[in-house]
Amino acid sequence: MITNSSNLPDSIYRAVCNDSYDDGGSDITVTSLIKPPHMRRLQVQHKNEIVEDAADRIFSLLGQATHTILERAAADHCIVERRFFVERLGWKVSGQVDFIDQTEGLLADFKVTSRYAAMGDLKPEHEQQLNLNNLLSIENGITGIKRLEIIAILRDWSKMHVSRERDYPKSQVAVLRAPMWPREATEAFLLDRIKAHQDPNPPLCSPKDRWEKPQRYAVMPKGKKRALKLYDDELSAKNHVAKVGKGARVEPRPGEAIRCLHYCNVAQFCSFGKHLLSQKQSETEES
């Protein structure tokens, strides 16, 4: 169920609700394959109990706007928004490919994202998605792909920052190249992911799955709000404080399971997630 507790305009609320997504009757999609199996299992089990607010799906709505962009990008030698299917281990797997330029040998996925996504390394899940979609394309007769790319439209880009920050993206569109995996490696990855999702009792999400940020230790100078340096271990921070002296102190910065607390719509059904949410609620009430 999608709520509107943020009181968004009715037009925006309807746009969020009227999502025409269709997985083509597949057992699992490429997007779901690269999710943590425990998270997806809970999403399937509690499908009719999940409640999300429309305000939390605005980024997804903006991403869906790329459909119009892709329609305009179409040409005779291009394949746009086509869903491909393969069958493995008794499951029908599907993946929707955003864009293939058969002349250039390019397979690309369009994403509306933040500028930070274009300033760091390519996310592992994006690399996985591109290579799985390439395998599905090959299985459906599309050959000759030489490049895999994320074409990122940066929603928070600002022209004013280009001249101020050396590493700032030079335009509002960034192209991120992904390495192409050997077909055998991609096939092995596909089978491993299917097996993981077919497990009736998948393990809890790993710290990596949870986007876990570990606890760190800040060296705080006396009377200042900004840390001199952050350390992964307390001893290094204490050694730094000893050198600085003059009232400096070590301030612990608690870690956080970012995905569980902010981006998982089934955290309330997960033993780990419920504990985190309860703990967070208690901390909020105490403050």
Q: pLDDT tens for residues 185-199?
A: 999 999 999 999 999
The residue ranking higher by pLDDT, 283 or 97, is 97
Kindly report, residue by residue over 96-140, the tens digit of the pLDDT.
999 999 999 999 999 998 888 777 788 999 999 999 999 999 999
Please report the pLDDT score of residue 49 as a whole number: 94
Q: Is the pLDDT of residue 13 over 80?
A: yes
Kindly report, residue by residue over 23-49, the tens digit of the pLDDT.
899 999 999 999 999 999 999 999 999
CB atoms inside a 10 Å sphere around CB 169: 19
* Residue ranges of domains in the chain: 2-198, 212-286
The residue ranking higher by pLDDT, 33 or 244, is 33
Summarize the confidence of residues 76-81 as an average pLDDT: 92
Nearest partner of 42 among 195, 211, 267, 256, judged by Cα: 267
Kindly report, residue by residue over 184-236, the tens digit of the pLDDT.
999 999 999 999 999 999 999 999 999 998 888 999 988 888 888 888 888 99
Second-level CATH architecture of 2-198: Alpha-Beta Complex (3.90)
CB atoms inside a 10 Å sphere around CB 39: 23
Find where tokens 């089978």 sit. 191
- Do the Cβ atoms of 253 and 218 come closer than 8 Å? yes
Q: How far apart are CA 62 and CA 68, in angstroms?
A: 11
Q: How far apart are CA 108 and CA 146, in angstroms?
A: 11
Q: Is the pLDDT of residue 283 over 80?
A: no
CA 27, chain centre distance (Å) = 21
The secondary structure element, H or E, covering residue 184 is: helix 183-198
Q: CB-based contacts of 128: which residues, under 8 Å, 6+ apart?
A: 34, 189
- Do the Cβ atoms of 279 and 257 come closer than 8 Å? no
End-to-end, the C-alpha distance of the chain in Å comes to 31
